[in-house]
Structure 1
Amino acid sequence: MIHPDRKNDPGRRLPEHRLAEAVSLAAAMPELEVVGSEVVRLSKGIPGFLFGSGKIAEIKQRLEEAEVDLVLIDGPVTPVQQRNLEKEWGVKLLDRTGLILEIFADRARTREGVLQVELAALSYQRTRLVRAWTHLERQRGGFGFVGGPGETQIESDRRAIDEQVIRLRRQLEKVVKTRELHRAARRKVPFPIVALAGYTNAGKSTLFNRMTGADVLAKDMLFATLDPTMRGVVLPSGRRIILSDTVGFISDLPHQLVAAFRATLEEVLEADLVLHVRDISHPETAEQAEDVREILSSLGLRKEVPVLEVWNKLDLLDPVSRESTLANAAIRPDVLTLSAWTGVGVDHLLDVVNDHLGEERHHRSLNLSFAEGRRRAWLHERGLVEEEEQTEEGWKITALWTAKQEQQFRNL
């Protein structure tokens, strides 16, 4: 595993921590064994090879001695750099995007997850066709006499990939429509949705299991959860909510995956409350939190959706750090501290969730005449209309509201 530390990289992360995260990524693939890792300082990347000739020769010798057959580069590697380094070292090479795609392909279980991974992988593969076909010359059309130029093998493969992408998108559209139907059905149920979001390995699935009594895969491993899981939860107050566990975020998440998994991450965007779970014991917890905020913002999380920070893994802190963390959290109204592993603080979290969701909502069927346009507009302005059908006399409306909102409507 090699982490190129670029001198002009504007990133917030220390290279040693980035390397440790990359090693954890590799460890998420059971068939991979990491036999060595290092940070390679780069004043500037060499366009064709990324590294200088001296460093390439040094790494080659070490690879041969360790009998390595796969090198992982924690960062972007151009197709040309990948081809040249594979030729120099005589090994297969994967960059950060390629490794994450491999992990996702290995973990996806639902139909939607599998299709999304395939779509992201094809988008990535399309840009790297030069690797496989540089030895082929341009073919000619016709019989080889006066026929014009035909397409290159690259163009042929690119066209085949584009056709496969179109097929996948059509299949994915059907799956997404089904998911939207499920989502629409959930909207009719007057239960608020609470979504767990956070950096990968922050402990979301452990917290999900603790809150729901479910048995979702929860391991000390990056991307243990890929497919969204939803369960009903009864809060201590007796109120029912729907809790959603989502895929973990990571810094420099490949843009192909952000686009492909947008439908999955829409579970977060549809939530009434987001719990941003943080591994407070991690040395770069602040940087991880900022990465999560940036991704949530780029996804289009509505500003009116409240977000609570859940500082998890208190049990991993030493006594001094724990006291300091608890003191810092006490002065922030949007922060809760707990240990999902031991259960300490989870009951308090459930109470706070109940308070943040406000009053319970219920359905009411209404029949409004055309003369009651102002009352109809009042309902729409506040987003209380679930269904509406125009009749000969006016409108038949199904409203989802609180008791207080119903009383306000009656007083109009």
Structure 2
Amino acid sequence: MLEHDRPVTRAWVLHPDLKSDQNRRDAVPALEEAVALAAALPDLQVVGSDVVRLPRIHPGMLFGSGKIEELKSAFHDAEVELVLIDGPVTPVQQRNLEKAWGVKLLDRTGLILEIFSDRARTSEGVLQVEMAALSYQRTRLVRAWTHLERQRGGLGFVGGPGETQIEADRRAIDEQLGRLRKQLAKVVKTRELHRASRKKVPFPIVALVGYTNAGKSTLFNRLTGADVMAKDMLFATLDPTMRKIILPAGDEVIMSDTVGFISDLPTELVAAFRATLEEVLDADLIVHVRDISHPQTEEQAQDVMAILQSLGVAEEAPVIEVWNKIDLIDGDARDAMLTQAARRDDLFAISAVTGEGLDALLTDIPNRLKAPRTEEVLHLDFSDGRKRAWLFEQGVVTDEAQDDSGTQLTVFWTQLQKDRYEKL
């Protein structure tokens, strides 16, 4: 992890561009994103960056010997203390490169973990970051120290005969992860209770989702009058924030701002932050905010939709698209975007900074939330108390009758509510 005892750490960012990788991203925008990631940490100063073309990966060192020497010279001249590699680096490669260059090294996963650690504010966010960091650290345990020879066996609770230091370290991490999971389970239970209490309030939930730095928090602040951290940097928002707002027509909704998505999100963080995205699972409407001025906006949108689909969200709640930062587009390109937005009923071109286009968006939201409803009669066994309670919490029961076999409920509900009921 980064050393925080210095005011500023001089860093250099490298993006390896592997020719044989069919799924690789365009190198220049990828490097720019990696530099922006580094800039999201307040105690880092990026003094240089490079795309490194790779014909193949060298298993022990990642790069070839000539490139390593060339970079070593550049790092020495720039007094670099930290090298950030925008991609995966094995523990052995990390150790060898740190030794060759005489600097500290972080890969993409380590950098994103640092940012999340710096940003997390809620107890759930802090616990999730800690768990993700431990999971990452567990994979970095390599035979890099002299004390890894076979140890003399001790008592059962400190390791059996012949336990190595790696095994002891791994077991200590696993024990700590177990403790954190128990703490997180309590926090998540509390959040579930809060969500359940919100469900009793008949206000629909509108969730803002999008690629990191798309402008979600700026839009959230403008709509709700809140003061969520909104800066032109990646991962400015890590903890979900919810506020009730009144739309122009008088409808009341709960607006939710969520963590920004990013391509190649480390698997440790996908798992750890799933609970953070659970707010989206409860949404009645998803507003996908895109930075339409970004050169990679299409690729970013695909990354977001892929994550939503993996969560099972996209099939349930309706999704509308918001092209944000339209104020940064000029001339014919701007006219074409406004024309395209006018032709589609699920697309809005806006500027969260200037307020342009927001009236049309806010006028449309209530129409999306008033989904068609159908009437059905359900038969519940007396043991189905949880289902009955859920239906009443949703406010969809119009009639109830009982007989010897159970309860007959007449419900008037949307397809979304029906889908959720069937998953209970």
TM-score above 0.5, yes or no: yes
Query: Match for 2:378: what amino acid?
Result: R
Closer, same or farther in 2 for the Cα pair 1:107/1:398, shift >3 Å?
farther
Matches within 5 A, 1:134-153: 136-141=148-153, 149-153=161-165
TM-score (norm 2): 0.85
In structure 1, what is the equivalent of residue 393 of structure 2?
386
Is the Cα–Cα contact under 8 Å of residues 378 and 410 in structure 2 kept in the other structure?
Answer: no
SS at match of 1:226: coil
Equivalences for 1:324-335 in 2 at 5 Å? 324-335=336-347
Structure 1 position 192, deviation (Å): 0.4
1:271 matched to which residue of 2? Answer: 283
**How high is the sequence identity, in percent, across the aligned residues?**
69
Match of 1:282 among 277, 291, 294: 294
User: Number of residues paired by the alignment?
Assistant: 385
Q: Deviations over 1:21-55 (max 9, x none)?
A: 00000000010000000000001100010000000
Of 40, 45, 49, the residue aligned with 1:28 is: 40
- In 2, are the aligned partners of 1:83 and 1:131 still within 8 Å (CA)? no
* Deviation readout 1:215-246 (Å, 9 max, x if unpaired): 11100010000000000010111110000000
Q: Tell me if the contact between 1:385 and 1:399 (Cα under 8 Å) persists in the aligned partners.
A: no
**Counterpart position of 2:251:** 239
Summarize the Cα distance change of 1:141–1:359 in structure 2 as closer, same or farther, 3 Å threshold: closer
After superposition, the CA RMSD in angstroms is 2.6
Indicate conservation of the 8 Å contact 1:269/1:302, yes or no: no
Pairwise CA distance, 1:136: 2.4
Match of 2:3 in 1: none
1:37 match: secondary structure = strand
Confirm whether residue 230 of structure 1 aligns to residue 232 of structure 2.
no
The change in CA–CA distance for 1:325 and 1:134 in structure 2 (over 3 A counts) is: farther
Partner in structure 2 of residue 86 of structure 1:
98
Q: Which amino acid aligns with 2:257?
A: D
1:339 is aligned to: 351
Q: Is the 8 A contact 2:128 2:272 kept in 1?
A: yes
Letter in 2 for 1:386: E
The whole-number CA distance in structure 1 between the counterparts of 2:137 and 2:181 is 16
Task: Letter of the 2:278 partner, please give it.
Answer: E
SS at match of 1:33: strand
Match of 1:113 in 2: 125
**Cα deviation, residue 139, structure 1:** 1.4
The whole-number CA distance in structure 2 between the counterparts of 1:231 and 1:115 is 24
Between 1:162-171 and 1:126-135, the stretch displaced more is 126-135
- The 3-state SS of whatever aligns with 2:46 is coil
Between the aligned partners of 1:262 and 1:398, the Cα distance in structure 2 is: 35
Separation of aligned partners in 2, 1:360 and 1:105: 43
Is the partner of 1:305 in helix, strand or coil? Answer: coil
Give the conservation status (yes or no) of the 8 Å contact 1:198–1:249. Answer: yes
TM-score by length of 1: 0.88
**Cα distance in 1, alignment partners of residues 339 and 182 from structure 2:** 52
Relative distance call for 1:52 and 1:390 in structure 2 (3 A) is farther
1:173 matched to 2:180? The reply is no
Alignment partner of 2:26 out of 6, 11, 14: 14
Q: How far apart are 1:334 and its partner, in Å?
A: 1.6
Task: Please say if 1:375 is aligned against 2:377.
Answer: yes
The aligned counterpart of 1:371 is none
**Runs of at least 5 residues in structure 2 that lack an aligned partner in the other structure:** 1-12, 381-386, 418-424
- 1:384 is displaced (CA, Å) by 4.5
Equivalent residue of 1:376, what SS? strand
Aligned-partner Cα distance in 1 for 2:130–2:100: 30
1:47-87, Cα deviation, whole Å (9 max, x unpaired): 01000000001101111111111000000000010000001
Q: 2 CA distance for matches of 1:276 and 1:299? A: 15
Distance 1:377 1:330 in 2: 46
Matched, 1:357 2:369: yes
* 1:361-381, Cα deviation, whole Å (9 max, x unpaired): 9xxxxxxxxxxxx83349x89
CA contact (8 A) 1:140 1:149 kept: yes
Name the SS of the counterpart of 1:262 in structure 2.
coil
What amino acid is aligned across from residue 122 of structure 1 in structure 2? L
Q: Distance in 2 between matches of 1:5 and 1:136?
A: 35
Question: How far does residue 319 in structure 1 lie from its aligned partner after superposition?
Answer: 2.0
Q: Secondary structure at the match of 1:35?
A: strand
Show the counterpart of 1:65. 77
Which residue does the alignment assign to 1:184? 196
